[in-house]
Amino acid sequence: MSRVLLAAVATTVAALASAFVVPSASAATAPEALLFLGVTYSDADPAGPRTVHGFLTCAPEGGLHRDPVAACAELAAAGGNVGATDVENPGVACPMIYAPVTVRAFGWYAGAPISHTTTYGNSCVFAASTGPVWHI
C-alpha cells in the first residue's frame, strides 16, 4: 500500500511542481531551487515505519522545511548536487542494526533537473551523515 501512496504523492507533487516551472520569459521570478524531499523509515526502525515529506525553495528561501536558509546554503555549497551534501561525522558511533532509511529528492536547481535517492543503514547513520537539506 505504501508504494501506491508514494506513487500517488509523487504524481501529485510533480503536478504541483509544474506550477512552479516558469517559461524562460519569466525565469527571473522563478526560485533558484525547488526540491521535493522525502525521508522513509522502514518498519524495522525503533520509532516505526513512516515517511516525512517537505519541500525547499531557494532564492527566496522557504517551503515546508525547518531551516531553509541553512539548507539552501548547504545546497549552494554543493553546487546543487544533493548527493554531495552528506557529511562525515566520525565522532558518532551507530549500532549495527539494519533498519534502512531512504531519502529522495527531486525538482530543479539553477534550471537543471535533480533526482536523487540514497539509502542509509539506519536512522542513526542517516542523522550522522546528513546536514540541513534533510532536516525536514
Torsion sign across C-alpha atoms 124, 126, 130, 134: negative
Q: How many domains in the chain? A: 1
For residue 94, what pLDDT is reported? Answer: 94
Per-residue pLDDT of the chain (136 residues; tens, 9 = 90+): 445 444 444 444 444 444 444 444 455 567 899 999 999 999 988 888 999 999 999 999 999 999 999 999 999 999 999 999 998 888 899 999 999 999 999 999 999 999 999 999 999 999 999 999 999 9
**Closest C-alpha among 55, 84, 80, 67 to residue 132:** 67
For residue 27, what pLDDT is reported? Answer: 52
CATH number of the domain where residue 34 is located: 3.30.350.10
Residue range of the domain that includes 39:
2-21+30-134
User: From CA 24, how far away is CA 3, in angstroms rounded?
Assistant: 35
Cell numbers linked to 132: 540541513
